[in-house]
Amino acid sequence: MGRKYIIFRADWSEEQGAENRILAHTGAITDILAEHFDSSNSSLPEPGYRLREYHRIEQFVDSSFPGASTHSRVGDWEVVRVEKYATQQPADFDAIVICYCRYSPVSTPLEPLPGIQLSQERQEVEA
């Protein structure tokens, strides 16, 4: 499969976890949890897959990237159903995938993210 637009959204009947779905600019609640653009040949998410949450822990912040996340964890949103739609005109995407999720809290540890690596070209530009 080629280019995929993957949307993770709260299942229609999901009411839990609303405090984690508030849009910062309006205060409204959204059903969209995350979206990914995937051009890899990796398989689609399946029921049981969990989104990762990203966190910024002050004591681990790299001063070159002060707004970057420093840690992640397996999150509380679990995929329960996946629907795939082929596009009629695959100019942008070959398929649109909707992963419906339920809020199912888990206690998982924070894991450090690898340091941000600059490409050689970027290092030369910044030097």
pLDDT digits (tens, 9 = 90+) for 4-23: 999 999 886 656 655 555 55
**Above pLDDT 90, what percent of the chain?**
30
pLDDT above 80: residue 85: yes
pLDDT above 80: residue 27: no
More reliable by pLDDT, 62 or 39: 39
Shortest CA distance to 29 belongs to which of 39, 14, 19? 19
pLDDT above 60: residue 61: yes
Q: Give the Å distances, CA to CA, from 120 to 23, 40, 65, 68.
A: 37, 24, 17, 20
Contact of 3 with 37, CB cutoff 8 Å = yes
Residue 126: the pLDDT is 55
Q: Give the Å distances, CA to CA, from 80 to 11, 84, 90, 115, 118.
A: 8, 14, 27, 32, 37
Confidence of residue 73 (pLDDT cuts 50, 70, 90): very high
pTM: 0.73
> How many Cβ atoms from other residues are within 10 Å of residue 14's Cβ?
19
Give pLDDT tens digits for 35-56: 999 999 889 999 999 999 888 8
Contact of 65 with 113, CB cutoff 8 Å = no
